[in-house]
Amino acid sequence: MCGLLFASFLAACSSSDPEKGATSGGAPSATGGATAGSSGNATGGTTTGGAVTGGTGGSSAGAGANSGGVSGGASGGSTGGAVSTPQPTDVAVIDSVVAFIGEQGAIGVKFQGRLGALPVQLLYVDFLDAAGVELGQVAGWGEWFARPNRFFPQGSAGRVEQVGDGFSGFISVLDESLEGRPERVRVTLRDRELKDSEPVEAELEEPAPEPRENGALCDPFEVLDRCGDGALCDVVNGAGLVAPTCQIPEPTCPLDLPLLEGSVEADNSDSPDSTDSSCTFTRGRLGNDQGHTFVAARSGTHRFRAEETDYQAALSLSVRKICNFGRAGDSELGCVHQRDAGEGVPLELDDELEAGQTVFVFVESSWVNGGQYALSVEEPD
């Protein structure tokens, strides 16, 4: 088994059974294509019907695919160890489902069961209201460390582990596009021959996040688990397509970023495409992004301004507290995109800073290429 698709979003898997055709999975990519493992096809954030053979790379149009990453433990301890398999079955059997919903609407689901004669290919998760009316499935594709953002109002994380003929795993999702608050979830598995398991429903309960140690896999929405003091559930920019883990940021920025003092002419043509921001494409990976270090001399409102010299060289502007972590709330202080400001209009972002505070300002280009831009900061009187 490899490359499960959770309600039209991709998740990684690993298997101890070579006959299942699986490889050690990792985190899905938002840049299209496929590497180690397999994935289903997705177009425009909607599941397509194409089957995926075990161990074969899938593809996506504007979506993501599995790549090699972290195997082993799983969020909230939901995927470790073998699952008891009393008797082989023709189709997959879901033995248990538990589900939780947080105050902000993030949903976490843990599940386990037995594989059928063929590897499982799809996992559908439907959201239901109290009357059993379907509110819709999770839309879009999944990433290990996705966050809802400017173009895609949903984010997801997931992990599946196979041992023998059993499986267990978790998914978590924050979908801001749902109409109403779900009360239940319904989970259905589908194998390669499009045979479905019997659906299993579970009531959404109040979460009780389990503590996770530094370095452990984690749920970025903190429904299933929560990192310890000082640790973030995230992935370091540029670390590759790997699962998020609990990590304590370094005390100083490890990146070599130019200093912003007043105004500067800059170029992001040769900059990496590795930052995360909430107002651009998935994980912020829309185009080249150049960071700048700024140290506030006075307390008060600081206005950052980015104006492109070359076409679409400044498509988004973001400010964060931690240079190589981008999760809003943990690091991001603000983000603005050209679609909000208007094409050709300089991007402006106001942030309240304390005297002596260091922040990191990123200017991101379109996916076509980078170019020259002007970046400035107006400090309070």
Cβ-contact 162, 15 below 8 angstroms: yes
Segment 174-191 shows an average pLDDT of 87
Q: Which is more confidently placed, 220 or 100?
A: 100
Is there a contact between 147 and 131 (Cβ–Cβ < 8 Å)? no
Mention every residue, 6+ apart, whose C-beta is less than 8 A from residue 182. Answer: 101, 107, 127, 128, 129, 135, 204
Could you tell me the domains of the chain? 4-205 (no CATH), 263-378 (2.60.120.380)
242-272 pLDDT per residue, tens: 667 899 999 999 999 999 999 999 999 989 8
Alpha-carbon distance of 275 to 290, in angstroms, equals 9
d(CA 50, CA 13): 19
Nearest residue to 155 via CA among 180, 172, 136, 178: 172
* Residue 188 pLDDT greater than 90, yes or no: no
Cα(16)–Cα(35) distance, rounded to whole angstroms? 19
Q: How many CB atoms lie within 10 A of CB 326?
A: 27
pLDDT band at residue 192, thresholds of 50, 70 and 90?
confident
Neighbours of 253 (CB within 10 A): 15
Give the H or E element holding residue 66: none
Pick from 100, 378, 105: which is nearest to 263 by CA? 378
What does the alpha-carbon distance between residue 323 and residue 21 come to, in Å, rounded to a whole number? 39
Q: Judge contact between 171 and 98, C-beta under 8 A.
A: no
Local structure of residue 29 (DSSP, 8 states): P
Q: Quick one: pLDDT band at residue 26, thresholds 50, 70, 90?
A: very low
Least confident of 51-65, 186-200, 278-292: 51-65
Angstrom distance (rounded) from CA 202 to CA 206: 13
Q: What is the pairing mode between strands 134-137 and 120-128? A: antiparallel
Tens digit of pLDDT for each residue in 45-89? 222 222 222 222 222 222 222 222 223 333 444 334 454 545 557
Query: Is 69:241 a contact under the CB 8 Å cutoff?
Result: yes
Nearest to 4, CA basis, from 119, 175, 137: 119
